[in-house]
Structure 1
């Protein structure tokens, strides 16, 4: 009697659920990230022609071609695309639960007398079954929501991979150009040091220079020479890293452009910190994962309540032999787990804890994005100031070396002054190239930190 009463109550609950369209999924609210109103570094671009695409950022034909090649052949990006396909397949399976399930079966048999020439009996049946699970508590709909959110998350992940790939291609490309410039500077200074070495040897032969002068200049010459193979090795490794991003083997790969000198770093407008919630694909991916986890709570909660399934079956017998008969049946089944040792309530707790974890992950991702933009803006300003000062330093170092060499030839200064001026010029020219590279890299990092050319819809 108690069981009968329980079934009646469960049926009543199920009917109410159908009529009300119940959903046990919590209402989603975006976590409050408490973003600042502005950036710490306020010097931003005021031009309306701020680049929005990588090809507009530096307007370099070879870089544009390398990026296109990387997007077509990079294996990490291809793997990210397949993860989207996996998520879509999962979403397709989740959506199938919203539709009825139908199956058909056909069976036939014939009995014949052994050694005889007539049949004893024959039969043929075909059966069509249709079943449909009523989504009483919104579990199937929540599953679809979770799967759709995970598809979006994997799409955002792919865009993040794409953005990082483009930034890495640009970074390695300009690093290659900078190493070519540094190598050219070292070789130019090496030739100058050799010329000075020849001058000192002539003066030594005539008694105008000492053996100490010869030894000091030879030491300076060797110090410059030893830098050349190190720079050549760095250039080889950088171009190999770039080839890897392009899906190529490093052999026979070489960047055609020879210098960083003509590269003009772009001016970028940072916008407002709140824009990052929409602009950055990693932030959108973190929120999509959070949305999926929120829907998972609804799935877990629905498992605590009864499930109902409607089934319709049609059976046709002996339809091949003519004397057919048809039987149809419509059934309703209600199922409820009475005791599971706390497994389903544990699933609810797990889903809720996962959602709370992803809230923290989302907030941390937002804070990281703010930090990256803020640091990049500061890096741009610092690199600009450093490059300006080093340009002046190079001009003065070149002048000092010319004067010191002239005075040494005239016998007014000793060789030590020339050596110090020679070392200062080499260091200043090398530092200026690295400062220019830092300025370019700061723009690349800022563009990536702002979300690049990707924009959410």
Structure 2
């Protein structure tokens, strides 16, 4: 009769095992526009060559060296390796959480020999097999497993986000190195031109055709150009060091083979609808997974307020080694309920609910920041494209103006001040054009990242 009662109670408990106290998760209301404002402004200018973001987006710049460096960074970067280790931790936690959904089975065995009196000996051996299982009446164990799975997903998306940041940093530092090399070449060329002009002014001064003021002005111009070289070389070395660390290398002795930004592509990027960001951006997916986990945590906290039922069974075997044996079987069910805890469990429910509300707001803010990121980079792409085109024309005119000023100065038609002004304008225009080219590449990298990098 006792065993029948236990079995009846267990059967009734199993019927209740489908209950769940986890609330239904509803996505927050998000003000997603049908299309990006900046994309609308540029729709008429869109080229047929524009293609969507792909996982190997950096290949669109047309640099084999960048492709090689990116492969190395993804294999050797320590921050990315740490992110992968965090994913493994989350995977192990998810496996541990799923273990609560199945019974716990243990086994033990023992054997002993004892002697008393003269030659009287006795032997005893025993083996026991036990199983225990907590009925998931209110879905607490299922909610725990669901939360662990969601946190595993979040960890994976965070790993993707780390990889995307790494890719952007490698590309940005690579292009910065090439732009600094271009600026150094231009500065060296302008230094040589200024030195040649100084030689001419010195010759004129020696022959009475120039005064001391003109000679001092040209020396100042040459010294200013030479003074800019150390800072450019410093920036170049420091950027090499930064890129080496991203590749998992020691910073000393690392150099980039390519020498110029010229010839590299400025890719045209097709932009999808804002709603696609919810699936494309790893940071949004990570925030969403964290919200799912927090929602499951509410179910776990609510279930802790209700009774728990555990079943246990064991089978023991005595005398397995010695002659003869006996068997002992047992089956038990237990019911437990917290009577008084000072409101601790109720507080845990309120904490879980508040954490879920916090993550709802975090998710909405992440989406808004992602939209801003895309809009900002669309503006940057368009603006830098226009600026580079205008600076190209400006530089051509500055070079022409310098040539004309040099010719007129040699002919005695203009004074040195006019030539110096044309010289400074040419140097400034050429340097600005290189930086505008870098800004175009940087804006493209930013847009690739803002659109999710193809994940």
Measured against the shorter chain, the TM-score band is over 0.9
Partners of 1:443 and 1:55 in 2: CA distance:
10
Partners of 1:332 and 1:194 in 2: CA distance:
97
Partner of 1:94: 97
**Alignment equivalent of 1:65, drawn from 61, 68, 75:** 68
Partners of 1:296 and 1:12 in 2: CA distance:
28
Q: Tell me, what secondary structure is at the counterpart of 1:41?
A: helix
Give the number of aligned pairs: 443
Does residue 75 (structure 1) correspond to residue 78 (structure 2)? The answer is yes
Cα shift readout 1:163-207 (whole Å, capped 9, x = no counterpart): 110011000000000000011110000000000001111111111
Deviation at 1:85, TM superposition (A): 0.5
Partner of 1:258: 259
State the Cα RMSD in Å.
Answer: 1.6
Partners of 1:32 and 1:166 in 2: CA distance:
32
Whether the aligned pair in 1 keeps the contact of 2:133 and 2:310 (CA below 8 Å) is: yes
Instruction: Give me the TM-score of the superposition, normalised by structure 2.
Output: 0.95
Instruction: Give me the TM-score of the superposition, normalised by structure 1.
Output: 0.94
Deviation at 1:117, TM superposition (A): 3.1
Cα shift readout 1:45-102 (whole Å, capped 9, x = no counterpart): 4426515232432121000000000000000000000000000111111000011111
Partners of 1:83 and 1:220 in 2: CA distance:
56
Deviation at 1:13, TM superposition (A): 11
Partners of 1:59 and 1:355 in 2: CA distance:
45
Cα shift readout 1:220-275 (whole Å, capped 9, x = no counterpart): 00000000111000000111110110001111110000001112211011111111
Partner of 2:239: 238
Partner of 1:4: none
Once the two structures are superposed, the pairs formed by residues 141-156 of structure 1 within 5 Å of their partners are 141-156=142-157
Whether the aligned pair in 2 keeps the contact of 1:18 and 1:134 (CA below 8 Å) is: no
Deviation at 1:16, TM superposition (A): 6.1
Once the two structures are superposed, the pairs formed by residues 344-383 of structure 1 within 5 Å of their partners are 344-383=345-384
Deviation at 1:109, TM superposition (A): 2.3
Partner of 1:109: 112
Once the two structures are superposed, the pairs formed by residues 364-403 of structure 1 within 5 Å of their partners are 364-403=365-404
Q: Tell me, what secondary structure is at the counterpart of 2:128?
A: strand
**Alignment equivalent of 2:30, drawn from 27, 30, 33:** 33
Once the two structures are superposed, the pairs formed by residues 160-171 of structure 1 within 5 Å of their partners are 160-171=161-172
Partner of 1:181: 182
Partners of 1:413 and 1:175 in 2: CA distance:
39
Cα shift readout 1:404-427 (whole Å, capped 9, x = no counterpart): 111111111100001000000000
Partners of 1:281 and 1:340 in 2: CA distance:
41
Once the two structures are superposed, the pairs formed by residues 5-20 of structure 1 within 5 Å of their partners are 15=12, 18-19=15-16
Deviation at 1:300, TM superposition (A): 0.5
Whether the aligned pair in 2 keeps the contact of 1:18 and 1:135 (CA below 8 Å) is: no
* Range that drifts further, 51-60 or 256-265: 51-60
What stretches of structure 1 of length at least 5 have no aligned partner? 1-7
What stretches of structure 2 of length at least 5 have no aligned partner? none
